[in-house]
Amino acid sequence: MGFIDTMTAPASLKHLFQQEFAKMVAVISKLYGLEHIETAEDIVSETFLLAAETWGMKGIPPNPEAWLYTVAKQKTLQQFRRQKIFTEKIKPSLVHGSTHHETITDVDFSENTIRDSQLQMLFAVCNPAIASEAQIGLALRILCGFGIDEIAEAFLSNKETINKRLFRAKEKLREIQLQLELPPAQELPGRLQNVLHVIYLLFNEGYYSRTQNRILQKELCYEALRLGLMLTDQECTNQPRTQALLALMCFHASRFDARETDGDAPILYARQDSSRWNAALIQQGMHFLAASASGDDISTYHLEARIAYWHCIQEDTPEKWQDILQLYDALLRINYSPAAALNRTYAVYKVHGAAIAVTEAEQLALHNSHFYYVLLGKLYSHTDKNKALSHYRTAYDMARTLTEKQGIQEAINALDITA
Of the listed ranges 274-283, 320-329, 357-366, the one predicted with least confidence: 274-283
Rounded to whole angstroms, the Cα distance separating 268 from 132 reads 29
Whether the per-residue pLDDT at 75 is higher than 60: the answer is yes
Of the two residues 154 and 194, the one the predictor is more confident about is 194
CB atoms within 10 A of CB 334: 12
If you average pLDDT over residues 270-289, what whole number do you get?
A: 90
Segment (H or E) for 300 = helix 300-310
Q: For residue range 174-206, list pLDDT tens digits in order.
A: 888 888 889 999 999 999 999 999 999 999 988
Rounded to whole angstroms, the Cα distance separating 36 from 164 reads 18
If you average pLDDT over residues 53-77, what whole number do you get?
A: 92
pLDDT of residue 13: 75
Per-residue pLDDT band for 81 (boundaries 50, 70, 90) equals: confident
Whether the per-residue pLDDT at 97 is higher than 60: the answer is no
Of the two residues 353 and 179, the one the predictor is more confident about is 353
If you average pLDDT over residues 214-234, what whole number do you get?
A: 90
pLDDT of residue 333: 96
Whether the per-residue pLDDT at 1 is higher than 50: the answer is no
Closest of 328, 303, 313, 225 to residue 269, by C-alpha: 313
* Residue percentage of the chain with pLDDT more than 90: 59
Of the two residues 362 and 314, the one the predictor is more confident about is 362
DSSP codes joined into one string, 229-282: HHHTTSTTT--HHHHHHHHHHHHHHTTHHHH--SSSSPPPGGG--GGGS-HHHH
Report phi then psi at 244, rounded to 5: -65, -40
Rounded to whole angstroms, the Cα distance separating 9 from 264 reads 26
DSSP codes joined into one string, 99-140: -PPPP-------HHHHHHHHHHHHHHHT-TTS-HHHHHHHII
Rounded to whole angstroms, the Cα distance separating 297 from 292 reads 9
* Portions of the chain given CATH number 1.25.40.10: 315-419
Whether the per-residue pLDDT at 120 is higher than 90: the answer is yes
Contacts of 76 (CB under 8 A, 6+ apart): 28, 31, 32, 40, 43, 107
Of the two residues 18 and 366, the one the predictor is more confident about is 366
Per-residue pLDDT band for 397 (boundaries 50, 70, 90) equals: very high
Helix, strand, coil % (nearest 5) of the chain?
70, 0, 30
DSSP codes joined into one string, 201-220: HHHHHHHT---S-HHHHHHH
Per-residue pLDDT band for 367 (boundaries 50, 70, 90) equals: very high
Segment (H or E) for 14 = helix 11-32
Per-residue pLDDT band for 2 (boundaries 50, 70, 90) equals: very low
* Residue percentage of the chain with pLDDT more than 70: 90
pLDDT of residue 15: 78
**From the candidate CATH numbers 3.40.190.80, 1.25.40.10, 3.30.70.20, 3.40.630.70, the one assigned to the domain spanning 315-419:** 1.25.40.10
Contact 206, 217 (CB under 8 A): yes
Rounded to whole angstroms, the Cα distance separating 274 from 278 reads 9
Report which DSSP code applies to 181: S
Per-residue pLDDT band for 265 (boundaries 50, 70, 90) equals: low
Whether the per-residue pLDDT at 155 is higher than 80: the answer is yes
Averaged confidence pLDDT in the chain: 87
C-alpha distances (whole Å) from 222 to each of 129, 207, 268 are: 26, 10, 21
Per-residue pLDDT band for 3 (boundaries 50, 70, 90) equals: very low
pLDDT of residue 7: 43
Whether the per-residue pLDDT at 89 is higher than 60: the answer is no
Per-residue pLDDT band for 99 (boundaries 50, 70, 90) equals: very low
C-alpha distances (whole Å) from 408 to each of 21, 35, 169, 359, 361 are: 44, 53, 42, 22, 18
Rounded to whole angstroms, the Cα distance separating 281 from 291 reads 15
If you average pLDDT over residues 316-323, what whole number do you get?
A: 94
pTM of the model: 0.85
Contacts of 305 (CB under 8 A, 6+ apart): 244, 245, 247, 248, 251, 285, 288, 289, 292
Rounded to whole angstroms, the Cα distance separating 341 from 331 reads 9
